Chain A
């Protein structure tokens, strides 16, 4: 099974900061990776699919990059509504695997 290692597990940042979250796959997964944002009590919301494609309606301050085993989610200028938990998901092969999550908190 493919393991996804996500880092950091949490971070504190201020409005306007640039934030980067990383996921590493235990083996190559091409670009079969999604990024999700989850707020308390809500279902996850997909932000990025195919590693770097921005979901319709998602602000352009969110971007994804990477291929193979290393992937990055970047928020170019953190906004108050971006404080949430973020997850990567590999869907290259079954079983799918989520990263452990990154909680983005207000500094």
Chain B
């Protein structure tokens, strides 16, 4: 069974840093791209960042480019999001997501989310 478990959220002051983790299990982690999606309180979903299976290519939304860094450790089956220079508008629930091959095509999996609050 595929599982994605985020951790690392919490309260941080504006300008501060935080690193989120997403522990994956139930699939061959290194074979699949992973992404982060966030949702500010009462707002819609926002795609944040993605990384291919090898880690060789990364992609970012303009809103986080230059401040956030996505990475992965395939030996630990773990995805990361390093968030620097945090702003109030980065306050959100952060989800990790992936699509993996399954019977019938590609199945879509999300973690339960971890809340990041940027406030003084």
Contact pick for A43, options B50, B95, B104, CB 8 Å: B95
Q: Assess whether A43 is in contact with B46, with CB atoms less than 8 Å apart.
A: no
Residue B35 CB within 8 A of the other chain: yes
Residue A95 CB within 8 A of the other chain: yes
Q: Assess whether A44 is in contact with B110, with CB atoms less than 8 Å apart.
A: yes
Contact pick for B108, options A38, A46, A85, A100, CB 8 Å: A46
Q: Which residues of chain A are near B61, meaning CB under 8 Å?
A: 95
- Which of B45, B46, B60: most chain A Cβ within 10 A? B45
Given the known inter-chain contacts A1-B62, A56-B104, please indicate yes or no for A95 contacting B47, CB distance below 8 A: yes
C-alpha spacing A87/B35, complex, angstroms: 17
Q: Assess whether A43 is in contact with B44, with CB atoms less than 8 Å apart.
A: no
How far in angstroms is the closest Cβ of chain A from B28? 20
Interface residues on A, range: 20 to 34
Q: Which residues of chain B are near A55, meaning CB under 8 Å?
A: 108
Residue B112 CB within 8 A of the other chain: yes
- Which of A87, A96, A98: most chain B Cβ within 10 A? A96
Instruction: Mark each residue of chain B from 12 to 25: 1 if its CB lies under 8 Å from any CB of chain A, else 0.
Output: 00000000000000
Interface positions, chain A 73-93, Cβ under 8 Å from B, are 85, 87, 89
Residue A52 CB within 8 A of the other chain: no
C-alpha spacing A53/B106, complex, angstroms: 11
Q: Which residues of chain B are near A43, meaning CB under 8 Å?
A: 95, 110-113
Residue A5 CB within 8 A of the other chain: no
C-alpha spacing A82/B35, complex, angstroms: 27
Instruction: Mark each residue of chain B from 76 to 120: 1 if its CB lies under 8 Å from any CB of chain A, else 0.
Output: 000000000000000000010000000011101011110000000
C-alpha spacing A53/B105, complex, angstroms: 10
A-B CB contact pairs (8 Å), 22 listed: A36-B45, A43-B95, A43-B110, A43-B111, A43-B112, A43-B113, A44-B45, A44-B110, A49-B108, A53-B105, A56-B104, A87-B44, A87-B45, A89-B45, A94-B59, A95-B50, A95-B61, A95-B62, A96-B35, A98-B44, A101-B44, A101-B45
Chain B positions near chain A (C-beta within 8 angstroms): 35, 37, 44-47, 50, 59-62, 95, 104-106, 108, 110-113
